[in-house]
Amino acid sequence: MSTAGALLFLLLLALLLAGMLSIVLHTLRTGISPMPTSAKVRRQLLSLLPEELEGTLLELGSGWGTLAFALADHCPRARVVAFELSPLPYAFSRLRQRLAPRPNLQLVREDFFRASFAEASAVVCYLYPGAMSRLAPRLSAELAPGTRILSHTFALRGWKPLRTLAVDDLYRTPIYLYEVPAREG
């Protein structure tokens, strides 16, 4: 191998290791690694969202963007705002958006716990139990009554789903559909 070839190899190896380290560090920080949503789960989840949905649809923790792009395609009248903190999956999604743009998709590298949910007409998430527990009071406080919330794999503690689907996959992945209840008083 030539010196230039060896340097290129070392550079690529360093970039790969830096990317992996970035994912590990952000996984430790957020409590979950960026996991793509399988095609079967995406199809089932999208079946619970009306195509004519308008307003702002939030995806909390968009990872590599597999669900964000599907949401943008499925709900073309909605503005899809996809939040992701991990830089490598976020950069991958940005590249994908640049190569195959979805005009109704906005990718945001921000902690969604710092964002307002007040304007959302629907929320979609694939998080972990700790984040779901932390998220539940924010959703009930900030979302308008009747707003749909879809979560796959993890339930919202203390909430009763309107519907629960079990995906026909290896894990029998559950998808929970919630609706923000009317406020008392």
Q: What is the mean pLDDT of the chain?
A: 88
Q: Give the C-alpha separation, 165 to 16, whole Å.
A: 38
* pLDDT tens figures, 135-157: 999 999 999 999 999 999 999 98
Q: Please state, for a pLDDT cut of 90, what percent of the chain lies above it.
A: 70
pLDDT band at 16 (very low <50, low <70, confident <90, very high): low
pLDDT on residue 13: 60
Angle between helices 87-99 and 3-30 (to 10 degrees): 110
**C-alpha pair distances (Å), 44 with each of 29, 70, 160, 175, 181:** 30, 12, 19, 8, 23
The answer on pLDDT for 26 being more than 90 is: no
**What tokens were used for 82?**
């996809």
The answer on pLDDT for 33 being more than 70 is: no
pLDDT on residue 37: 83
* pLDDT tens figures, 75-94: 999 999 999 998 889 999 99
* pLDDT tens figures, 113-138: 999 999 999 999 998 898 999 999 99
* pLDDT tens figures, 93-103: 999 999 999 99
Residue 148 is inside which H or E element, if any?
Answer: strand 148-152
What angle is formed at CA 42 by the lines to CA 40 and CA 44, rounded to 5 degrees? 70
